[in-house]
Structure formats: structure tokens, C-alpha cells
Amino acid sequence: MDRDFYTEDHELYRQTVREFLTREVVPHRERWDEERWIDRRVFAAAATSGIYALQVPEQYGGAGELDYRYRMIVCEEVSRAHALSFALTLGLQDDLVLHYLLDLTTDEQKQRWLPGFATGEIIGALAMTEPGAGSDLRGIRTEAKQDGEDWILNGQKTFISSGIMADLVIVAARTNPGGGSKAFTLFVVESDWPGFTRGRKLQKIGLPGQDTAELFFDNVRVPSENVLGGIGRGLHNLMSHLPRERLGISAGAIALSRTIFDVTREYCFTRTAFGKPIGDNQHVRFELAEMATELDVAEAYVDKSVLAYNEGKLTPVDAAKGKWYTSELQKRIVDRCLQLHGGYGYMSEYPVGRAYIDTRIQTIYAGTTEIMKEIIGRDLARGHSHE
């Protein structure tokens, strides 16, 4: 099926992305995973080359490009480069941190933070999850109490992507003990502030190059000019930015699934067993046929979601549908592709083996599959009376 989705300008951009990855990422990706750390310089090079932060307005050093299809191209090409730890970090910056800094900041905050983000000198992180609060944001216990013009922040966060590397951390904290929808506020904590410490770099089973951390806040004094999006608006601001985050997961999931399928298809028609390519067996062809169909159908939904996002029409429910389905599809595709590779698929030097480990988190972060279904189910039930 022809994919009438990209223009000539998009394809020219694809060449830029591909050349950047070949030069700056592919030679280092294995070392990054072995060292569990991505060289920070690559993010400055990526931002300068327009690989992310395209949406930063021109007056702050960006391109002011709002078309999400450029972000999709980055997802596709980074997947083809088999650099998934790098892909996750780009997604964190472009699909999460940047949009908080674009949408919720004052003019003064934009002047302070966006120029550094546009050049890749500032790396950000989003700190919501706590040891006792994951999908249930209302369970957040980190708190901030007002002290004159400042706020005193205390608490702990965990599973924070880029938490070790980040210069700015957007922290969700409880500011109203009474609870309710106005109980939370977002604060931007800067890396060198007294009382802000980083715990251990967490040992994950996949995506080893992408640092994930525990963060601790012990009487951190946050000036009022680092309140993000207004006092008591934290929960609303978090919820309103979830569609973009979940679209990013869908884009990455479909890109990686397509990449591993293409690798496996090639393998099936070059690997021989019993005197013929394994792809000549009907069962293998049926497996490939099913996966090709599922990918085309899911890709059509993601493309539609991207265009809806460009028009400002992507709803939280539609984003949730895409997130759970494509992340679960990625798990199925990668698992089946590993099976078709046989013993070679279990070897870490093969892309499918590495993708198998890196894929598992997809159905968990940015809202679990179960939470996505609950969001969709509540929407379906809304407006219907119960007898």
C-alpha cells in the first residue's frame, strides 16, 4: 500500500537525519549501551542539525516548525539505525519536556530556557513517578510549601528518564494538602540547587544507554519564578500534555516494528534450511503476511493521529487508543520476528535480540495498557445511565 503521507521536503529532511545518524550515532551506539551513558555532545549536535527541538520558535533559536511529520521521520530513521536508547532520549526531549517549556512558560522563562534547549545545551526531565505513585498521579506525596516568595520542596521521585543528565527537572508536587484537582503544581528545579540530589542510575533490563534515576529533594528552595504553569494547575497541565507523549510512543512503536519486520523479512528469504529459504515455507509466509497487514493497518491509524495532532484535534482518548495498540503490537511483532530468526534472534548482536529487550517497557511507561483501556472505557461509558 502506498503511503501518501510525506512531501518532498519531508524526504529531503530524511536524508539529513540519516546522514547525521550515520556520522554521529551509529559509530557509538554499542559503546553507549555498554557504558550505560550517551555522550552528551551528541544532543548538542542533534539540536544544531535540526534532529529535534524544531518547534522552538525562531526568536529563541529554533526553526518554529510545527509539523509532527518531521518528528515521525526521526522516529523511523533512528529505529533503522537501531539506536533505541538514543531514540528514547530524543522522544523525552521533543515529546515531553519541550512542550511543557513551550506551552506553560512565561516570556521570562522562555528567554531563560528555550535558547539552551534549541542548541541542545539544556537537557530536561519530567519527574512525576514516585515509589508509591505511578499511573495514579493523585498519589503524589512530594510536597512544596510556600515560604515568602519561595517554595520549599521535599520528596522523592523514581524511574526518571534522563534524571542523571538533566539540567532542568520539571517536578510535580503537592501544594494543597486538601487535595482535589488543584492540589498539585509543577516546579522547574535546576541541577545545581542545594538539597537536590540524584540517587543511583537505575539498572534496567533494556534501553541501557538511556539513563534513568532516582531523585531526592531535601528542603530545596524554589524561587517563584520557577513555578511552571501556575499554582494549583499541575494536574491539569500534566493531563493536557499526555496526548503528545502518547503520540510519541505510537510513532516510535510503529517505526521500530516496521524496522524489525523489514530485517526479518530479509532474513527469511536469505536464510536457508533444508535446501531452501525459510521464507519458502507456507507457515513463515503466513507469519510475514499477518505482520505486514497488522503494520499497515496500525500505521494508517498513527498517520491519521499525526495529522489530527497537526490540526490540534488529537484527543486524549484517540491518543490512548494508539498508544496501547501500537505498543502491544510492537511486543507481538518483535517476539514473532525473534522466533523466525531462530537461535540467531537470541544473540545480542542481532537487532531483533536487542529490540526484544528494549521493547518490553513500551506497554508500561506513558501510561500502562490497562490505564489506556480504562481511559477509553470511561469515555465510552460517559453519558450512559446505569440501571
Average pLDDT, the chain: 95
CATH code for 8-122?
1.10.540.10
259 CB-side CA count, 13 A: 25
Q: Give residue 87's pLDDT.
A: 97
- The CA distances from residue 48 to 63, 70, 109, 138, 336, in Å, are 10, 15, 21, 38, 38
Q: Which tens digit of pLDDT belongs to each residue from 341-364?
A: 999 999 999 999 999 999 999 999
- Classified as helix, coil or strand, 372 is helix
Whether the per-residue pLDDT at 179 is higher than 80: the answer is no
pTM for this entry: 0.94
- Identify the CATH assignment for 241-381 out of 3.30.360.10, 1.20.140.10, 3.30.870.10, 1.10.10.10: 1.20.140.10
E runs forming strands in the chain: 124-127, 143-147, 150-161, 168-174, 184-190, 196-201, 212-223, 227-228, 272-273, 276-277
pLDDT, one tens digit per residue, over 101-137 is 999 999 999 999 999 999 999 999 999 999 987 667 7
Alpha-carbon distance values, 152 to 146, 149, 187 (Å): 6, 10, 11
Domain ranges of the chain: 8-122, 125-232, 241-381
Q: Provide DSSP, 207-250.
A: -TTS-EEEEEEEEEEEEGGGEES-TT-HHHHHHHTHHHHHHHHH
User: What pLDDT sits at residue 387?
Assistant: 47
Determine which one of 76, 130, 143, 245 is catalytic: 245
Based on the residue annotation, tell me whether 299 is a catalytic residue of this protein: no
Mean pLDDT (whole number) for 15-26: 98
Contacts for 129 with CB less than 8 Å, ≥ 6 apart: 157, 158, 159, 160
Q: Could you tell me which residue, 107 or 242, shows the higher pLDDT?
A: 107
What's CA 259's distance to the chain center, in Å? 18
How far is residue 233 CA from its own chain's centroid?
A: 23
- Please report the pLDDT score of residue 3 as a whole number: 77
pLDDT recorded at residue 11: 97
Backbone angles phi, psi at 37, to 5 degrees: -165, 130
Cell of 297: 493497518
For the segment 252-273, what is each residue's pLDDT rounded down to a tens digit?
Answer: 999 999 999 999 999 999 999 9
Q: In this predicted structure, what is the pLDDT of residue 164?
A: 97
One-character DSSP codes across 144-160: EEEETTEEEEEEEEEEE
Question: First CA to last CA across the chain, in angstroms?
Answer: 47
Structure letter (DSSP) for residue 345? G
In this model, does residue 335 exceed pLDDT 60?
yes
* Lookup: cell for 178: 486538601
Task: Give me the CATH code for the 125-232 domain, please.
Answer: 2.40.110.10
Instruction: Of 88, 80, 9, 94, give the one whose Cα is nearest residue 51.
Output: 94
Whether the pLDDT of residue 45 is over 50: the answer is: yes
CA 2 to CA 376: how far, in whole Å?
Answer: 30
> Contact 191/176 with Cβ under 8 angstroms?
no
CA 131, CA 140: separation in Å to the nearest integer?
9
Section 161-186 average pLDDT: 93
d(CA 57, CA 72): 19
Paired residues of 168 in beta bridges:
124, 190
